[in-house]
Structures are given as structure tokens and as C-alpha cells.
Structure 1
Amino acid sequence: MQTDDSLAPPSDLPSDKYLAEVWRRQQQILGRVALGGDREAILSDIVRLAEEQTGDGMLASILLLSEDGVHLELGAAPSLSDEYNAAIDGMEIGEGEGSCGTAAATGRPVFVEDIAADPLWTDFRELALSHDLGACWSVPIVAGDGSILGTFANYYREPRQPSDLDRDIIEAIALTTSIAVERIRLERMRNRAEEAESLVLEELQHRVKNAFSLAQSLINLNVPAALSARDLADKVNGKLRAIASAQDLIIVRNASGRSDEMTSIRTLLATILGPLGYGDADNRISLKGEDHTVDAQSLSGLAMVFHELATNATKYGALKDAGGTVSIDWTATSEGLEIAWAESGGPSATAPEIQNFGSRLVASTIRQLGAAIDYDWRADGLRVKIILPPTSLAG
């Protein structure tokens, strides 16, 4: 095995004929990258370019560093078997983790001339030999800021030592791969930013509509018991102020001194459900469970889920009618905190034909929390079970 901290620069290339063709073909690929071509197709073409230029049985592979920075994911390796690609996809980087895992961890090229004898391949030797792979040379794909993006590897069927030309071609193609992967990442980041912006606008519109619906429902529910217009105004204004306070729990915590805030399940539910009747003399809303504390990481997400359930109960469910009730029970189990939301006395609950934005928002939040949610649509009212993982509980 050889490691090499500095490959020959382009000005020292030993073969103008081969390398001129490599650069010409790479320029074509980079043109497609600039136009926003398909990632998988571009990376596969880079691999095939490397394989064609050597013409002596080389099999190339591009692995990309995962977002967690500790695993390698398959970018392109069309000439390697699907079984082999599946086995190394998601491998953890580190010294001694084959040629690619070591190159990604150290940031240095790694040239293993004989897989059967090299200690870097101890954990992958049987896999490689079973697929007739005898040598593997891997160089890190490095971003402009020096960070590692992945690895570019050359495999051979027989043990083999790299020539100067081999090293130069690998360096040149790794550079092209770096440019392509950086552009792909930037494109992905831009798309995510646009999606996030669209999501924020849609969520804002959703919350504004919910706020108006809640206000209308509060007026309708308080009219029969109001002694006068002033009494009605006082009752509704008080509940609207409580709703404004509850909305604060739904805002994602930031680093401005509130990121370490914790709230108990009871306090969280009481804040959200207070404006809708919790604590009133008619006991339409009941809470039952020990005072478990939710960590700051889960607080705003869980608040959003409960707020969505409460809003829907007011618009369509048990809290829409004066006689309807909602009970929320929670119990600690071996799986985490099990929360049961039960509505009764209102309209018959039926599953929606299509998933609206609120439902998608709840599903997304539940996934982010690592939780689980189950809906049971019944004639006597909706039942919802949420299982919050133990890691979300602070005490």
C-alpha cells in the first residue's frame, strides 16, 4: 500500500496525448454540469471517461460523503456489480476502512496494490476478492475550501502498481469530479432553500386561516352564555390573548437565550387548550397524566402537533359543538411517552379523502421528533395515539 500527499501537477504530465483527451472530455462534462444536468448521469459519465482512457480493465467508482460526514454513499460505479455496490454503500470512513474509507478520513490518496495482502482491506478483503477485485487506488474528492466531498477510486482485477500516468489521470478526473459534486451540492442547497421558503409561506397562510377559524368558533361558542355584548367581547378577547400566548410555543426556539427552555406536558397542553375551554367550569377538556417534562428540542414540534389537533377539533370535531368533549391522557411506557387524544360528543369523525397541509405538517413534525402517530376515525369522535420517544423527555 502507498499513500501519497502530493500528486504530479498538470504541468508535469508525462503524456500530452492521453491527458489532452482527458481534459477535452472533462470540459464537455463540466459544460453539462454548468447547465444543471442530471447528477447520476454526470457522475456515471465521469466514471466511464476514466475507464475508457485507461483501456486496460480499470473499474472506476465515485463515493460521496454523507451529510453526517462519517459515511460514504454510492455516487456512481456502473461497472462494478450491484451486489458489491450495495455492500459498500453507507460504509463508515476511517483509517483501515479500505482504500476509500481511509482516503476520505485522512484526506490523502491511498494506493492499495494488492487487496489480498494489504491490512487496510482486512474488513473488506473477502468481499473484494469474491468479486475478483485485486487492487484499488483511491483519491479524495476535495472541495474548494479543502473539505472532503467523497472519493474517486480505480479498481483492477489483478494486483497492480500505479504508473505516473495513472496518478495524473486520477488527479485530473478527481478535480473534475470535485467541481461537479460542488455544483450538484449547491444546486441541492438552492432547491432546499426554495422549498423551505415555499413551506414557510404555506405554513404562514395555514396559521392565519386557523387563527380566523378559531376566532369565529370562539365567538359562536360564547354567544349563548354571554350576558351582554360587553361580556361577550371580554370573554372572546381574553381567549384571543391566550391563543396569542399559545402561538409562542409553536415558534421554533433559536439561540437567543430560549433554546434550553423546557415545559411539562401538562403546562404545554394547558397553554394550548386554555383558550378553547380547558379550565372552564363545564370541564369540556380534561388532562390526565404525570407531569413529565419535554426537552427543548421537542417542545415546539409537539406544541405544533397539539395545536393542529386542537384547531381541527374546533373547526370539524368535538369542540365544534357545545356538548363535545376532548380528553388527553398520557402514560410513560417502555417505548416512551404514550399520549391518547380522544374526542366525543361531536360530529362523526371521518378520514379526509386527501391530506391537507396541516396533516402533512403534523406528519413531517412527527418524523422529525422520531415519534409515531396513529389516527382512529370513529363515529363517536376521533382518537389519536402519539408515542413520543424516551429521548424527548427531560425528566
Structure 2
Amino acid sequence: MTTGRGLRGTAAVVGIGNPRYHKRGTSEDSALALILKAILAACEDAGADPRGIDGFVSYANDLNEGLAVGAALGVREVRWSTMVWGGGGGGVAAAVNAAAAAVATGQAECVAVYRGITEADDGRQSYGKGHFPPLLTAHGIVTPAQICALRTQRMLEADGVPRSAMEALTAVSYLHAQSNPDAAAFGKPLDPEVYADSRWIAEPLRLYDCSRENDGAGALLVVPAERARDFAQPPAYVLSGVQGAGPDWSESLENDAAYTSAGFHPALVNRMWDGAGIKAGEVDVVQVYENFTGPAVASLIDVGLCPPGVAAGEFMTVDNLRAPGGGLPINTSGGNIADGFVHGIGLAVEAVRQIRGSSPNQVAGADVSLLLGGPMAPLVSATIFGSAATR
């Protein structure tokens, strides 16, 4: 059932593809080849003909345009091809939302959402290109880690969020990765002492507070909800989707009033919950984009899943965040930190797996799965997925 002008009940993800990640700089394939493999895997998963794809969406300055991807696949027609602006993973959920909007309005019938990178094609830190104006670089701020470190330090000092909240997110990501054979950290558990002794990247962020950077690609197929049952897998319906930047956010040269926020401002958060017709307490599982652990904690606070201040430490514990039995399992495939990092496309895939019941760390009876993208990036976005029971 649709509600107003929202996305609820209009679109569904019916196919996912996320081939194993490569250590950065080691893939024998180009980024385009990896994207094509991911889309073909999503089509095989869905039982769909790749030539029937008629829309393409990517984000984060992906160098592989939808028209080129479509030509390589031999599609019959390209009806929709778009890119979400905004650096890094802020566009991961927004890309899903754009695809949902396309099929909901009849602009396309099957849209591939994808992201792929290789160090050979994209260089290092491709997510930060074009987002460091002179005011930052003149003062030696040249990496996302530095910007997020400044904001995280303020969150710890001024807001009173304990560092243990960040540590718990890393710990549970590595714990989940041990059950995921495809994770980069599979078979490599992280001892608390190793985390505590790891080098500073940009204080207060240590090595294991930072996401990986991999060669790889992922893809999702989005179709109109009325077609969802025509495919091989249980659909994950789009219940709500939001994206954007607040009035003093975006490319605002670090003048943000809510300096410790992840960027999910109250109006956006309200639209997210209202669009889905649910409350924060009804979420079963979360995939939160963790470029770094501090911004990820800030995301959970922004959307009302984690309490602010000192109480965040009581919520952010391994026992509460772990699957399957935690109060709110988070990053159940290992996330950007322990699974693999291709601008968070793996988080979107895992959000859908949880609705299907096919995650390596499955939450029993997961009906509502939340994807959060891009904390402390110029653009943020979110998608709420639901099972058939939520329609």
C-alpha cells in the first residue's frame, strides 16, 4: 500500500551480487569488469535476463557510466541512467532510492544499482576527490580521516560519548566477519589489545577505527513491487528512502552548527521514519556506513537508535550489537571495517540479505532492515527495507 507521495510499497530489490573483494591494487580485472561481474551475479541470483535491465544508478564519482555498463551488457534499451552527487558513501542508500523512484514512476522496469573501484583505475582515496577546498588543504587537512577525527574528538569531549562506543563497533564487526567466509577479515580475529596498541591514523582514530579500501564491486536489481514475485528470491521492499544535507551542512567548509552530527538532521530523520510508517524501536538490524567508527556512532545517535552522551557507551556494547541475539545487531557481514570497502555497496547487499534470511549472521525474523550511508560526508542517505510481512 502506498502512502502519499512516498516510496513505501512501490519498489523492491530482487537480485544482489557482491563478488569477493580483492586487496587494493591486486585485482586482475578493471573496475568495469568487476561491475559487470557483480551485475551478472545479481541477475543470476534473481533469475533475470541481463538484457532486460533498462536503468543504471551509481554514486561517489563512479567512473563507469551507466550507458557504458549497459552497452557492455548488451541491454535492449537504457531508459534511466543517473549518478548521485556527493563524496564517498553518502550516496549508497541514495542510489537505491533513485532506482526505486525510477521504477515507481514508470521510468524504468529493472534498474541496476552498482559501485565498483580498483586502485589501478580510481587511485587511492577516490571517495575524497573534489571535496577538499583550499580552506582545508591550506591547513593540512587533506584526508577524510582528518575531518572525521576533528568531529569525533568533539563528540567525545563535548558530547561525552565514551570511546568504548567506537571500540565496540570495531569489535563486533570483526566478530561478525569470522562467520563470513567472503570477508577480508575472515580468519583474522581482532584482540582488544591489538586494537588498543594500533597506530594513530588521525587522533582519536586508530588503525582499526578506519574502513578498508578494496578492489571490488557490488550490485542490486530494483524492480516495481508488483513484479517482485516474478523473480527467484524473496524480495526486499523499499519502505522509505531519504537523502540530502541540512541548511548548514553540505560543502560548508566546516561551519556546521551541529559539528558532531553525522549529518542526519531532524527533518530528514522524521521523513525517514514517517515514510516507512515505523518507529526507531521497530528496526531489527542495521547496516551503518563506517568510514570511521566515530561518524558511525554519530549516525546511530542522529537517527535515534543510540542514546547521546555517556549513555551511548551503555548501548554500544558487543553483546547488544552482535547477531543473532543482540538488542540491535549492526554490520552483520563485518561492514566496511572487516568485510570489505567499496564505498559501502556491500552494506546495501547485506541489508537485503537480512530481509531474505541469507546473511552469514542472520537475525531471526528480520522484517525491517535499515541502511545508513555517508556519516559526516557532504551528503547522507538512508533506506529502510522490509519483508513481505511489512507491506
Q: Shorter-chain TM-score category? A: under 0.3
Return the TM-score normalized by structure 1.
Answer: 0.21
Q: Give the structure with the higher percent helix.
A: 1
Q: Which has the larger radius of gyration?
A: 1
* Greater RCO, CA 8 A, separation 6+: 2
Return the TM-score normalized by structure 2.
Answer: 0.21
